[in-house]
Amino acid sequence: MAAAPSLTPPMRSVRAVVLDTDGVITDSARSHAAAWKKAFDAVLSGIEGQPPFDAVDDYLRHVDGRSRRDGAAAFLASRGLDLPEGDPGDPPGTGTVWAVAARKDELFTRALRTEHVDVWPGTVRLLDALRDRGTPCAAVSASRHATELLTRAGLIDRFAAVVDGNEAGRLRLPGKPDPALFVEAARRLRVPVRDTAVVEDALAGVEAGRRGGFGLVIGVDRTGGPDSTAALRRHGADLVVSDPGDLLTTGAAAGEATAGEGDVAVGEAGAAAPGAGEDR
């Protein structure tokens, strides 16, 4: 009988773990990116010389890890488009930043109701090992859909706390790269940030973990791009893995990593997909 997976030394050194939701726990980043593409392309199609939204590159550079409003504003600004800010109550459309964000939310909500919620198997194995060890975990996302995603995926019981977009709005927490979401999650787990690990695939999320003073910041690079690992490190990742399952020492995701060593890219690497984690 194969030995049960155990945690690598970096993971054994922490008392709690906070994980981003989209892209780290659930494989819903593709749906988010597809919804953003439809929302942005509706704006871009009417402007001569504007190429369509790239659901990988543009998503990772401007939208990934940000709130819906901030992601919409960042991408539009990158194209030199100065849309009016509008109001959070704007209906879905193309006339204001908030209208574009609302259109994206409408599209994603529709997909959420009709599509199956996939989870990353390596992350589930990691959650199992953490539970066996008695290490409390929290899920974090600026997305107001995160709790519903985790519930539909059958993973909500794995988390002692969930800080999603609804909680962020209620508590007026700023979005990533501000560390407020992660700090609130650690507070609910009753573990100091210096003893807590953050697992993130978004550049803004990795930066938030570093800004928050977390003891271990793990970047997840599912894209396999030549510069993606380096970018995660530049934004503050202590360790980069191709999948959270790589943080286990035996089983399908075998391998061992220590903080400060070279990149860890062994075991199960998910198919190329953009990261996620915004209020979407």
Residues belonging to the active site: 20, 22
Nearest Cα to 25, choosing from 187, 155, 211, 218? 155
Nearest Cα to 201, choosing from 76, 69, 68, 30? 30
Sequence-separated contacts (24+) of 211-218 with Cβ below 8 Å: 211/177, 211/178, 211/179, 211/236, 212/179, 212/182, 212/183, 213/179, 214/18, 214/179, 214/182, 214/186, 215/13, 215/14, 216/10, 216/11, 216/13, 216/14, 216/259, 218/10, 218/244, 218/247
Instruction: Check: CB of residue 130 under 8 Å from CB of residue 113.
Output: no
Rounded CA-CA distance 38/35 in Å is 5
Tokens 């790239």 found at: 54
Rounded CA-CA distance 250/3 in Å is 7
Residue 192 identity = P
Rounded CA-CA distance 104/102 in Å is 5
Q: Exposed/middle/buried for 244, CB within 10 Å: 0-12, 13-18, 19+?
A: buried
Rounded CA-CA distance 27/75 in Å is 23
Residue 135 CB coordination number (10 Å): 21
